[in-house]
Amino acid sequence: MSKITGFMTFARETPGERPIAERLGDWQPLHLHLPDERLQTQAARCMDCGIPFCHKGQLLNGMTSGCPVNNLIPEWNDLVYRGLWRQAYDRLAKTNNFPEFTGLVCPAPCEAACTLGISDPPVTIKSIEFAIIDRAFAEGWVRPAAPARRTGKRVAVVGSGPAGLACADQLNIVGHEVTVFERDDRIGGLLMYGIPNMKLGKDLVARRVEVLRAGGIRFVCGVTVGEDVTAGDLRREFDAVVLCTGATRPRDLGVSGRDLDGVAFAMDFLRGNTRSLLDSGHADGGYLSAAGKDVIVIGGGDTGTDCVATALRHGARSLVQFEILPQPPAERAADNPWPQWPRVYKMDYGQAEAAAVFGSDPRAYSVQTVELLGEDGRLTGLRTVDVAWASNGDGRPAPHPVPGTERVWPAQMVVLALGFLGPEGGLPAQLGASVDGRSNIAAPYGRFQTDAPGVFAAGDARRGQSLVVWAIHEGRAAAREVDRWLMGETNLP
């Protein structure tokens, strides 16, 4: 610990974001970055507290606390403070294959668990992490991880999201020949098409994919495994298969009027927008446009926020986001102590942008949609009712309609961001792998192997919808178990 009084001397400073009025006019990344000397000051705030909760990812009360990939946070904070950027990168690369992704899109459960956060604003861990990897790419320290020798074993990874890429990277490092299959036309899965460009620049995704490709990983795009390539093909050509297909089956809204033109799933909205942006700068019109429409996003979370921000850039006439849960408190509640994730009210980038355009937070809380309204097959609005949360008699709270609170909202576009129900398609069954009660691929945590020999699963396909950082953790851990299964032992972490 280089500066004992750092956390007492220096206030928290975050890099900030581009002005809202400026960034709403384009699709460029919204994040700004601090110069090195100010980042070093922020790193000095790390307490080297002796028992750092920040680097130990765990679930507390159903929410993530600390870093699931176990980043060596106090170590690289100290190294950044002392200007030892290369050594800081070496520490970071030991635990995280893709810090440029987590440094931008992770909600930073590490900061929520920072010991300093008990009484003061926590260390700006996330922005320091991104600064380290940004410096590493600029200096040429990030090099392809081509192994010294090959094992002769071949592994198929199905899905090129963060779990699939992390798994492929780890398996390639120890010498296995890895082929990654992706059904979309570009590699990256959720990173490419599920997160808008202003939140995660696709040049960063493409840059990392090229590093992996140069290291010897083979990528195959535009192929749906289970259809274009069968389970039998995988069995014949590969020694092991890892299913990292994500949990992409969307939760639907089961109300009257669901089939009206103007209702879309969030991923269809986001995927089409990004593909059209990358293909033609939106000139091809191959996306669902919110321009000039009254837009309602049903569902909160990161995906709902991304839909809000996307609709704003299209030029929506009005925008509302429904949350079925009550508005969180301004401060931690008594049953939500540190180091749990703080369930408190805040505005993410999309809500802040909407507030700047329309004058207030776009979210309406404790609202449930009961009917979609339309004329001549097209959406014109929806009907809602307010809900109160109370026990159903089983000890768990549930929403109950409040009489007399029905409202009708105008809408020509409704975007459903209601979460996901597990993997799509029948590939697990074709391979002989079972699914669990939540429709995820059944593979015990720690082993990651399904009940089909040589078939493994990781990421959202196994655990359900979760964070990018958990996907990286699972991809790494599954790679370790695949290596052990293939070779009888493993040196992977």
Per-residue pLDDT at 1: 57
Topology, domain 154-248+421-487: FAD/NAD(P)-binding domain (3.50.50)
Quickly state the pLDDT bin for 195 (edges 50, 70, 90): very high
CATH number of 263-416: 3.50.50.60
* pLDDT for residue 222: 97
Task: Count the Cβ atoms, other than its own, within 10 Å of residue 150.
Answer: 14
Q: Which two tokens stand for residue 161?
A: 């999201």
- Look at residues 456, 463, 460, 432 and name the one whose alpha carbon lies nearest to residue 168: 456
**What pLDDT is recorded for position 2?**
62
Confidence check: pLDDT of 196 > 70: yes
Q: Each residue of 357-368: pLDDT tens digit?
A: 999 999 999 999
- Asked, as a colleague might, if the bond just before 35 is cis with ω within 30 of 0, I would say no
What is the pairing mode between strands 378-391 and 407-410? Answer: antiparallel
Task: Please state the separation of Cα 340 from the chain's center in Å.
Answer: 19
Count CB atoms within 10 A of the CB of residue 368: 17
pLDDT band at 396 (very low <50, low <70, confident <90, very high): confident
Mean pLDDT, the chain, integer: 96
Between 6 and 239, the higher pLDDT residue: 239
Q: What is the pLDDT of residue 360?
A: 97
Hey, what's the torsion of the CAs at 422, 157, 205, 99, to 10 degrees?
Answer: 80
Structure tokens at 352: 């802040």
Topology given in CATH for the domain delimited by 6-139: Fumarate Reductase Iron-sulfur Protein; Chain B, domain 2 (1.10.1060)
Q: What is the pTM of this model?
A: 0.96
Instruction: Kindly report, residue by residue over 421-447, the tens digit of the pLDDT.
Output: 989 989 999 999 999 998 999 999 999
Q: What is the pLDDT of residues 27-86, one digit of tens each?
A: 999 999 999 999 999 999 998 788 899 998 999 999 999 999 999 999 999 999 999 999
- Sequence-separated (6 or more) residues with CB below 8 Å from residue 260: 372, 374, 377, 378, 379
Strand, coil or helix: 354:
helix
Q: What mean pLDDT do residues 262-279 have?
A: 98
Mean pLDDT (whole number) for 131-155: 97
Q: Which of residues 260 and 8 earns the better pLDDT score? A: 260
Q: Specify the pairing of strand 240-243 against strand 154-158.
A: parallel
Q: Which two tokens stand for residue 420?
A: 């996901």
Region(s) of the chain under CATH 1.10.1060.10: 6-139
For the chain, residues classed under CATH 3.50.50.60 are 154-248+421-487, 263-416
CA distance 409 to 373: 9
- 488 pLDDT higher than 70: yes
pLDDT of 304-345, one tens digit each?
Answer: 999 999 999 999 999 999 999 999 999 999 999 999 999 999
The average pLDDT across 277-303 equals 97
pLDDT (0 to 100) of residue 391: 85
Q: Which of 160, 233, 222 is nearest to 475 (CA)?
A: 160
Question: How does residue 134 score in pLDDT terms, banded at 50, 70 and 90?
Answer: very high
Query: Do residues 473 and 165 lie in contact, with contact meaning Cβ atoms separated by under 8 Å?
Result: no
DSSP-derived 3-state class of residue 21: helix
Q: Is 358 helix (H, G, I), strand (E, B) or coil?
A: helix
